[in-house]
Amino acid sequence: MIEKIYIPTFRRVDNQTALSKIPSIHKDKVILVIQEQEKHLFKYDVEYLIVDNDIGLTKTRELIYRHAGKKRYGMIDDDIVWFRRNSRYYNQPPNMEKSKRECNEKDWDEMLEKIDNLMNEKKVISVGHKEAGFPPSSINKNSFITGAFWIDGEKLSEIIDDVDWNEFYTCQDIAFNFEVLLRGYTTRKLGEFCMAHKYNVNASGGCSSYRTQKMRDDVVQQLLKKWKPLGIVNHIDDIKRSSDSYWKWSKKEEKKTGFKPLGLHFNFQKAYKIGQINNETN
């Protein structure tokens, strides 16, 4: 079962969107992960994990992995909103009038049960959610998980000391996906239970408090150096010529977020295949 839900948060004391969307019956699972410098500001009736000041999200996530141990748990950005899509998209009778709705208590119960059942499958180490703005889909295998990670701590404990979790100061989501897939694990991404996440990319607080364009540029080079030789990270133009629509999106994204897009292509399916080959040869 899913025992804990960790929500790392920074400089958003009065803007706890994800926490507010979790039903009361599941609030006892929540652990807010906050820095020492802010602990006097938080008054929510939940459990807390206090970490050192200004350690960044990368180190914070490693501390979450180790604190959770072998439990099954969630590691959730503090601005996530969860939705459930109409069951008519999944060959079932409609269960709502609209195409989707925010998850209610019953939806949450079913969502956590589905996640737990997926983790019962061999080598499924993490489960995530499709973005709510994308077309309806079912369950994707080994596609990019970001924003909300449900993690099988028992499986992660098998490799936790083999990974340098602090290697990348940004792009932690990308690194997590590659590290687990290349080690022979598999992931799932839910379409019926989806999330809104991208809506808040330019909000104050959180990672925007310390991330810079130089950090992102440096991490782009790190990602290429580490994983381009495997063919799983490449410049977009090395894969295909960028279309006019890509450059229009790129300019729009930069204006919205204040950062240039990474300009990289990630092949998570290939990373999974490499992981399976490595498993067979070891």
pLDDT tens column, 158-174: 999 999 999 998 999 99
In this structure, what token pair is assigned to residue 201? 């990319």
Residue 67 has a pLDDT of 98
Name the least confident of 59-68, 86-95, 206-215, 242-251. Answer: 242-251
Q: Cβ–Cβ contacts within 10 Å for residue 104, how many?
A: 11
Residue 165 has a pLDDT of 96
Residue 110 has a pLDDT of 97
Name the least confident of 23-32, 185-194, 256-265. Answer: 256-265
How many Å apart are CA 150 and CA 170, to the nearest integer? Answer: 20
How many Å apart are CA 83 and CA 98, to the nearest integer? Answer: 12
pLDDT at 230 over 60: yes
Report yes or no on 208 lying in a domain.
no
Report yes or no on 243 lying in a domain.
no
Distance of CA 126 to the CA centre of its chain: 9
In this structure, what token pair is assigned to residue 102? 């925010």
How many Å apart are CA 185 and CA 166, to the nearest integer? Answer: 20
How would residue 24 be classed by pLDDT, with cut points 50, 70 and 90? very high
Distance between start and end Cα atoms, the chain: 31
Name the least confident of 15-24, 74-83, 209-218. Answer: 209-218
How many Å apart are CA 74 and CA 150, to the nearest integer? Answer: 4
Report yes or no on 29 lying in a domain.
yes
Average pLDDT value for residue range 70-91? 97
Distance of CA 132 to the CA centre of its chain: 14
Please identify which residue in the block is written with the tokens 């098998």: 158
Verdict on whether the full-model pTM lies above 0.75: yes
How would residue 236 be classed by pLDDT, with cut points 50, 70 and 90? confident
Report yes or no on 51 lying in a domain.
yes
Report yes or no on 221 lying in a domain.
no
How many Å apart are CA 110 and CA 75, to the nearest integer? Answer: 18
How many Å apart are CA 17 and CA 127, to the nearest integer? Answer: 21
Higher per-residue pLDDT: 133 or 259: 133
How would residue 240 be classed by pLDDT, with cut points 50, 70 and 90? low
How would residue 256 be classed by pLDDT, with cut points 50, 70 and 90? low
CA angle, 5 then 9 then 10, to 5°: 170
- Residues 6 or more apart from 6 whose CB is under 8 A from it? 31, 33, 49, 64, 67, 68, 73, 74, 75, 76
* Residue 176 near residue 90, CB atoms below 8 Å: no
Name the least confident of 70-84, 138-152, 201-215. Answer: 201-215
pLDDT at 20 over 60: yes
In this structure, what token pair is assigned to residue 18? 């994800």
- As a whole number, the mean pLDDT across the chain is 90
How would residue 124 be classed by pLDDT, with cut points 50, 70 and 90? very high
Average pLDDT value for residue range 224-242? 86
Residue 161 has a pLDDT of 98
Helices (H), the chain: 17-21, 56-68, 105-119, 153-156, 172-182, 213-227, 236-239, 244-257, 268-281
Residue 208 has a pLDDT of 57
Whichever domain contains 99, its CATH number is 3.90.550.10
Residue 51 has a pLDDT of 98
Average pLDDT value for residue range 109-119? 98
What is the domain range of residue 62?
2-202
Report yes or no on 240 lying in a domain.
no
Report yes or no on 235 lying in a domain.
no
Please identify which residue in the block is written with the tokens 């990974």: 163
Report yes or no on 207 lying in a domain.
no
Domain count, the chain: 1
Q: CA neighbours within 13 Å on the CB side: how many for 245?
A: 0
pLDDT tens column, 170-221: 999 999 999 999 999 999 999 999 999 865 554 555 555 566 778 888 999 9
The DSSP 8-state label assigned to residue 248 in this structure reads: H
Residue 190 has a pLDDT of 98
How many Å apart are CA 152 and CA 222, to the nearest integer? Answer: 28
Work out whether the CA dihedral 243, 177, 147, 26 comes out positive or negative. positive
In this structure, what token pair is assigned to residue 163? 């990974």
